Structure 1
Amino acid sequence: MTVSAQPEALQSKRPAVSQKIAKIALVGNPNSGKTSLFNQLTGLNQKVGNFPGVTVDKKTGISQLTPNLKAQIIDLPGTYSLYPKSLDERVIIDLLYDPGSKHYPDLVVVTADASNLKRNLLLFTQLADLQIPAVLALNMVDVAETHGIKIDVPALQRELGVPVIPMNARKGIGIAALKIVMSQELEAVGRLFYEIPLELVPVVQSIKERFNLTNDYLALHFAHQHKNLKFLSSDDMAWFEEALKPVGFSSNTFQANETIARYTRINELLLDVVKVEKVNKNEKFSNRLDQVLTHKVFGYLIFFGILFLIFQAIFAWASYPMELIDVGIANLNELIQENFDGPLVNMLTEGVIAGLGGVLIFVPQIAILFAFIAILEETGYMARVTFMMDKVMRKFGLNGKSVVPLISGVACAVPAVMSARTIENWKDRMITIFVTPLMSCSARIPVYTVLIALVVPEKYYFGFLNLQGLVLMGLYLIGFLAAILSALLLKTILKARERSYFIMEFPVYKMPRWKNVGLTILEKSKTFVFEAGKVIVAISIVLWVLASYGPGNNFEVAEQQAIAEANAKGLTEEQTENKIASYQLEASYAGIVGRTIEPVIKPLGYDWKLGIALLTSFAAREVFVGTISTIYSIGEEENVSTIKNKLMSEKDANGDPFFTPARSFSLMIFYLFAMQCVSTLAIVRRETKSWTWPLAQLLYMSGLAYVMSFITYHIFR
């Protein structure tokens, strides 16, 4: 399909010559291709922040529309209409209902699924009645054609009164034409699709006068949404209550009537625009595929099979690049130590580089994890998983939409907690937020992989089943069981009258767009390295200082004691140096802190060194690896040995290996359950608007971690 020459009414008044960067908002239904379009327009020039005053993710990016013109693209949350049902959707009304805001867009690009145009046009007609300059990006025209749907684009353009650009955002088709239209200064839509009911005309007029509005439909939405508009004062709220009483204003009733009226208008509009021919075989194949993938038995087996593949891949596929990074860090340390000497060099190699190595070595595993998650979302399979799990989740006080935060929690609890905003029911949402951190996030991967490599042999069963991968999957399943059982407990504690319901639309099956997958991997890996990396390296430096110095003459005394004991036992020079390092570490500031908390953690099998790692891990779990890497590097002759070898060579007071299976599994269980993430606590506070929930999480998860670690240690001991 191609676009004919635009009618004169649709053409721009003049080229946009202002040096000011225009703000263009992308709006559309979920699964309409809005994210693909955003990635096509912005590429790598995008960033994630927060919308003003709320914690909803704000994705923005810069797009080069023409050689001389750039625009800021704002990717708004997906929504079916301007009547919000979730916190994400309320962001849209905050942005579009305040024309005086500095964030108000100059242009709105509405993405519409060409294969389901009727439903998508509901949102478009609402935006059009707000009189915002708009463009309709008619996406997935190829999918529509495979469904036997033919759209007369020039006719649709005339009916809507805005430019209509047919495209395939996934393949980049139509992007150039869209950029040309976006670079022009367009007029507002010149027609209305809905008339204000006569009984509301006086109220609408009063609202326009009080708030200095020029648009009738915007004034009507002020009446509907006044309780959710953050820029209104308490006096404004009181005024609305009085103004709406005389007309017996019922938001739900008028909203339902409006929706019926709009669909009636849309049906008339599409009569001569859309022709539907016989549905082709692809749709039948898609339906048959759904019968298998959402089957009450095979559907779950396939889903758990995919999870099994993911955890096997995290170990098997990532091993080679991890070895390369490990060797590279070791060689860099060795090169520096051979050519330089002094306290600063020690800090660089044993503090900074050791901590940095603890970050970079796990990037391959995290990249693989995010790659699989992105592919599942891109293909449309994740929506089927949500549907399948709804019946199961409801038994535990959750609903199908809770699966998205729980699965996202495997990557990171922070965005996972934020994604719970799509859950309309308050009780379901609170329970989901509370239990999501129990899912094993990517920050736990460094802890798991190091400890599993220590005590679980690298064996293969049937030629492809990796024992280490099986143990890793077991840890994830334990986390999932802990989450749903905790949800069941909360279900009996929390009381709410609000009824829960579940609505989920299946997107069409499609091949993943590898550019989107690549961008997701790059963005998430970069976030891990720079966000977690900053904390890890900073704490590694602090730890090196704390472990390298002590109060008074403690270090001198410790050295003398070590030498005297070494001479009495006839130790070699190397053994003497190791004993001096051990005594000095115990006499350092870090050793004093570790010794202080040792009595509390000793029942779990931990010593004062692990106590230091546990304390620093409360900033972020990833810090554990950097911490032990730093602690066990100090005083050793060979600073270039791998983390695994450092831990394997560690001995207890009796000269036996310190990291036994009992101690290692106890540590894994502790990190599985413990709430050791300040960022997650902060996000829960922002999402719940209360300290009660994050403090309850901290106490519950820490207590659970202590008890389960205690049991694990004594079982394996």
Structure 2
Amino acid sequence: MAGGQLLSGRAGVGVSAAQLERSALRHPGPLTRIALVGNPNSGKSSLFNQLTGLNQKVGNFPGVTVDRKTGISQLTSQHRAEIIDLPGTYSLYPKSLDEKVITDLFYDQSSDQYPDFVVVTADASNLRRNLLLFTQLADMGLPTVLALNMMDVAEQHGVRIDVATLQEELGVPIIPMNARKGVGIAALKIVMAQTLDAPATRFYVPDEELLPMIRQIRYYFNLHNDYLALHYAHQYRHISFLSPDDRAYIQELTEQYGFEPTARQAQETIDRYQRINEILLNCVSVTRTEKNEPYSNRLDRVLTHKVWGYLIFLAVLFLLFQAVFELASYPMEVIDSGVAWLNGTIQDHLHGPLIDLLTEGILAGLGGVLIFIPQIALLFAFIAVLEETGYMARVTFMMDRIMRKFGLNGKSVVPLISGMACAVPAIMSARTIENRKDRLITIFVTPLMSCSARIPVYTVLIGLVVPDQTVLGIFNLRGVALMGLYLLGFVSAVGSAWAMKLLMRTKDRSYFIMEFPVYRWPRWKNVGLTILEKVKAFVFQAGKVILAISVILWVLASYGPSGAMEQAERTARATAATQALPPAETESLIASQKLESSYAGHFGHFIEPAIRPLGFDWKIGISLLTSFAAREVFVGTISTIYSVGQDATELTVQQKLATEKDESGQPFFTPARAFSLLVFYVFAMQCMSTLAATYRETKGWKWPLLQMFYMTGLAYVSSLLVYQLLK
């Protein structure tokens, strides 16, 4: 913004950018605390990143599990400010945990975190909706700056905003900007460097009949204005810092004056929008309608249809899993064969304990990480495209009709679908669900959705027992089996939710509101960044765990109690001599006997009686226990255990399992065992991080422990039934 352009002070008062900067340099003052607030998708996160750069940290708001992002911004050469990035909200009437932290912050004037003033981000292309929150903050007497973001998008939509007139109507500084590109950031910093007074404009005046009640609340709590006192009357049950006596006092007043919060809130919202409409008529003109809107409406008639909508969604999922299996198979084969070739080449030229550790431990575990990168990249690519195009919002809306029958609501679909990627962020995303019962049920059942960490297990076992055949010319049987496992997880999740709905009684009512974005072509840069971020998270987070456990397992599988390994080798050689076995079979028998006598073998035999009815042996038992750190560790463990000491370094993971024999010399991984193991992994918890996330969100061990015991019991019983029926 040019140095001589007016930015504004109060309504009707203008100051230049140059004057503001000189004033800031003369009066650096203490560190200013600025709250950044706005509607979801208004560009608030982009603005926060532009203001703070790398000077950010993430913690929790006091007493709750909601993330709190803060950062330091250098506003001028001598003036720094602490920026608090608050969760996105549409209103100061909270409906979720995320929104509640905002009201707690703005209601408590005595708090150490109370902001000096507020920057409200508003989407310039949808100003009417965004101004509702702004008017509420202004009526609370909070000094406010309006960051009019996405001006480029507004222009593309034919929206023209007279900023000077709007600034005069609202009585606060307004900065037109494009936060993604950094346009307007400098001007905003200059305005933020000033000590602002409360905005002069008032947008809503409570009815006269409410003033006696409001004034009593105001003076009792020493509040600075009437509208804040009105919010105490609305929200006293949910304001965390009020004492029981305080709540009892307000309750007595609301009953005495016959205060009806729902009706009053509805009327207030109507009144505010009438005022907003009057303002926008003078300040905003639209030269053309959104060109994609009529097209989006026509698509919605089909894609959200009460019958066709669900069929289309199932077809999209079906194609997704077919593509994940088909398209990823070629790069997976290249990676798997490459790791096996590298292992064989190293062992052909080098020998010794360290070489065994490298090939049988490190490289075997590393192969269990790298091989699944293509599938995970494809899965996240498809999910990112569905979100970018706007289709995922429609899916959430459609599923609300079904979810309510099972004790959930439409917002539960977001965590459930996110659970197909990872249960940890999916559980955290349940914070947006207003109803406590719906939120707890969603958190409890989300881990039953098959996450990306299960893909390695599914892929290996499906490849062992499901033929690589095509049905009807286009449907690969392995893709059908993969989708079947995902559907089994979804059915178990909604079935468990329905059971919890019957067990958990509550009078709370929930509702679902969502704004549909227009359909757009995906932004491929965002899709690519999503893929890169998720693959990096898998490789560097899961990969570290897999690699560490692979090395530990190699040690446990290569060494045993004093004299046990030597005795096992002598016994195996004697058996081979008696049966006149060829050298290759002799070495294989020795490796098997030594593995069974190792520390890992002893531990596996200890737990084998408990898992034998499921068709599992001691080797699988070891893999089940190690995979509790992370489900995908199962494949690395299996690969390591079946690599130790065997002349199978040039075999892929799948080939190693295919060559495994049972006690009678038959293939060990029969369809009965493979499907029993697959079903076990569909239901089993097998993830410490998920339990930790549940503990964090519920603030106690009750729900994580119930979750673990329920899912483990469900996995055991289901696996037992599958094996006994198929064996």
The yes-or-no answer on 1:586 pairing with 2:596 is yes
1:285 to 282, 289, 295: 295
Letter aligned with residue 188 of structure 2: V
The alpha carbon displacement at 1:410 in A equals 0.8
The separation in 2 between residues aligned to 1:65 and 1:368, in whole angstroms, is 42
SS of the residue corresponding to residue 548 of structure 2 reads helix
Q: Which deviates the most, 436-445 or 85-94?
A: 85-94
Distance change >3 Å, CA 415–CA 241, structure 1 → 2: same
The separation in 1 between residues aligned to 2:584 and 2:24, in whole angstroms, is 77
Q: Which deviates the most, 598-607 or 244-253?
A: 244-253
Q: Which deviates the most, 86-95 or 104-113?
A: 104-113
The separation in 2 between residues aligned to 1:510 and 1:68, in whole angstroms, is 44
The separation in 1 between residues aligned to 2:114 and 2:215, in whole angstroms, is 27
The separation in 2 between residues aligned to 1:49 and 1:653, in whole angstroms, is 54
The alpha carbon displacement at 1:226 in A equals 4.9
Letter aligned with residue 451 of structure 1: L
The separation in 2 between residues aligned to 1:20 and 1:329, in whole angstroms, is 59
1:550-583 deviation line (CA, Å, top 9, x unaligned)? 2232112111111111111122333222212211
The separation in 2 between residues aligned to 1:589 and 1:698, in whole angstroms, is 27
Letter aligned with residue 545 of structure 2: V
The alpha carbon displacement at 1:242 in A equals 7.6
1:148–1:279: 8 Å Cα contact kept in structure 2?
Answer: yes
The yes-or-no answer on 1:436 pairing with 2:446 is yes
Letter aligned with residue 687 of structure 2: C
Cross-structure match for 1:667: 677
Cross-structure match for 2:11: none
The yes-or-no answer on 1:608 pairing with 2:608 is no
The separation in 1 between residues aligned to 2:590 and 2:156, in whole angstroms, is 75
The alpha carbon displacement at 1:464 in A equals 4.1
SS of the residue corresponding to residue 582 of structure 1 reads helix
1:108-151 deviation line (CA, Å, top 9, x unaligned)? 44332334322210111223345555443334556555665432
2:188 to 174, 181, 185: 181
Letter aligned with residue 158 of structure 1: E
The yes-or-no answer on 1:206 pairing with 2:222 is no
Cross-structure match for 2:586: 576
The separation in 1 between residues aligned to 2:700 and 2:554, in whole angstroms, is 37
1:137–1:167: 8 Å Cα contact kept in structure 2?
Answer: yes
Cross-structure match for 2:577: 567
The alpha carbon displacement at 1:624 in A equals 0.7
Aligned CA-pair RMSD: 3.7
SS of the residue corresponding to residue 137 of structure 1 reads strand
The alpha carbon displacement at 1:90 in A equals 1.4
The separation in 1 between residues aligned to 2:273 and 2:300, in whole angstroms, is 29
Cross-structure match for 1:361: 371
Letter aligned with residue 672 of structure 1: V
The separation in 1 between residues aligned to 2:71 and 2:482, in whole angstroms, is 37
Cross-structure match for 1:488: 498
The separation in 2 between residues aligned to 1:339 and 1:59, in whole angstroms, is 53
Cross-structure match for 1:190: 199
The separation in 2 between residues aligned to 1:46 and 1:331, in whole angstroms, is 45
The alpha carbon displacement at 1:534 in A equals 3.1
1:10–1:187: 8 Å Cα contact kept in structure 2?
Answer: no
2:58–2:68: 8 Å Cα contact kept in structure 1?
Answer: yes
Distance change >3 Å, CA 389–CA 520, structure 1 → 2: same
The separation in 2 between residues aligned to 1:559 and 1:449, in whole angstroms, is 35
2:215–2:229: 8 Å Cα contact kept in structure 1?
Answer: no
Letter aligned with residue 184 of structure 2: A
Distance change >3 Å, CA 345–CA 24, structure 1 → 2: farther
Letter aligned with residue 502 of structure 1: F
The yes-or-no answer on 1:6 pairing with 2:7 is yes
The separation in 2 between residues aligned to 1:216 and 1:593, in whole angstroms, is 69
Letter aligned with residue 309 of structure 1: L
The separation in 2 between residues aligned to 1:569 and 1:608, in whole angstroms, is 26
The separation in 2 between residues aligned to 1:643 and 1:73, in whole angstroms, is 50
1:133–1:186: 8 Å Cα contact kept in structure 2?
Answer: no
Q: How does 1:32-43 map to 2 (within 5 A)?
A: 32-34=42-44
SS of the residue corresponding to residue 160 of structure 2 reads strand
Q: Which deviates the most, 348-357 or 648-657?
A: 348-357
Cross-structure match for 2:160: 150
Cross-structure match for 2:38: 28
Q: How does 1:437-456 map to 2 (within 5 A)?
A: 437-456=447-466
SS of the residue corresponding to residue 138 of structure 1 reads strand
Cross-structure match for 2:549: 539
1:516-564 deviation line (CA, Å, top 9, x unaligned)? 3333333333333333233322322322222222223211211111111
The separation in 2 between residues aligned to 1:47 and 1:522, in whole angstroms, is 23
Q: Aligned residue pairs: how many?
A: 711
The separation in 2 between residues aligned to 1:309 and 1:45, in whole angstroms, is 43
Distance change >3 Å, CA 238–CA 398, structure 1 → 2: closer
Distance change >3 Å, CA 312–CA 394, structure 1 → 2: same
SS of the residue corresponding to residue 468 of structure 2 reads coil
The separation in 1 between residues aligned to 2:165 and 2:639, in whole angstroms, is 67
Distance change >3 Å, CA 378–CA 589, structure 1 → 2: same
Letter aligned with residue 310 of structure 1: L
Distance change >3 Å, CA 124–CA 647, structure 1 → 2: same
The separation in 2 between residues aligned to 1:517 and 1:164, in whole angstroms, is 33
1:597 to 600, 607, 613: 607
SS of the residue corresponding to residue 272 of structure 1 reads helix
Q: Which deviates the most, 606-615 or 313-322?
A: 313-322
2:140–2:228: 8 Å Cα contact kept in structure 1?
Answer: yes
Q: How does 1:492-531 map to 2 (within 5 A)?
A: 492-531=502-541
The separation in 2 between residues aligned to 1:496 and 1:669, in whole angstroms, is 33
The separation in 1 between residues aligned to 2:413 and 2:671, in whole angstroms, is 33
2:175–2:187: 8 Å Cα contact kept in structure 1?
Answer: no
TM-score (norm 2): 0.87
1:79 to 78, 86, 89: 89
Distance change >3 Å, CA 668–CA 67, structure 1 → 2: farther
Unpaired runs of 5+ residues, structure 1, are none
The separation in 2 between residues aligned to 1:69 and 1:636, in whole angstroms, is 67
Letter aligned with residue 607 of structure 2: I
The yes-or-no answer on 1:634 pairing with 2:641 is no
The separation in 2 between residues aligned to 1:563 and 1:45, in whole angstroms, is 65
2:601–2:619: 8 Å Cα contact kept in structure 1?
Answer: yes
Distance change >3 Å, CA 302–CA 578, structure 1 → 2: same
2:7–2:174: 8 Å Cα contact kept in structure 1?
Answer: no
Distance change >3 Å, CA 537–CA 215, structure 1 → 2: farther
Letter aligned with residue 605 of structure 2: R
Distance change >3 Å, CA 98–CA 337, structure 1 → 2: farther
The alpha carbon displacement at 1:675 in A equals 1.7
Cross-structure match for 1:427: 437
The separation in 1 between residues aligned to 2:363 and 2:579, in whole angstroms, is 35
Letter aligned with residue 212 of structure 2: E
1:608-659 deviation line (CA, Å, top 9, x unaligned)? 1001111222222111112112111111234353211221221212222212
The separation in 2 between residues aligned to 1:566 and 1:43, in whole angstroms, is 68
2:569–2:593: 8 Å Cα contact kept in structure 1?
Answer: yes
Letter aligned with residue 7 of structure 2: Q
1:409–1:441: 8 Å Cα contact kept in structure 2?
Answer: yes
The sequence identity of aligned pairs, in percent, is 64
TM-score (norm 1): 0.88
The separation in 1 between residues aligned to 2:588 and 2:219, in whole angstroms, is 83
